[in-house]
Amino acid sequence: MNKDKQLSTSPTFEDLPAMVAELSRKFDAFLERPEVAEAAQPMGVTPCAEFLTTLEGRRVTNGAVYNRVHKGMLPYRKIGARLFFIPEEILDSIRKEKKHHLTITAKQLS
């Protein structure tokens, strides 16, 4: 009876295109995983400064990173004395940050 059940659930020739498409979709999803895993990797102060430099378009130093941590402007993790930063958390904090508007007073215009 088990053999009959196995034969009845075996794929048919007509099922093959759908199965290949599903396998292809799963394979593509698998290939995308390392990029997601890399993005979630914690980075130290120097790589964080380089990451912020590319985001902001201006040089961000290690000292600026420490300063932002001290002011609570940058999400971080701490293990012992070492600071770690997760790129996705930094991007989320930037997205959630209030927008600053430029205000020019009459005194500044003159």
Give the tens place of pLDDT for each residue, 3-36. 554 455 788 889 889 998 988 888 777 766 655 5
Residue 65: per-residue pLDDT: 97
Residue 9: per-residue pLDDT: 74
DSSP letter at 11? P
CA distances from 70 to 64, 65, 74, 101 (A): 10, 9, 8, 24
Domain residue extents for the chain? 2-39, 45-96
The total of other beta-carbon atoms located within 10 Å of residue 50's CB is 15
CA-wise closest residue to 84 among 55, 57, 46, 54 = 46
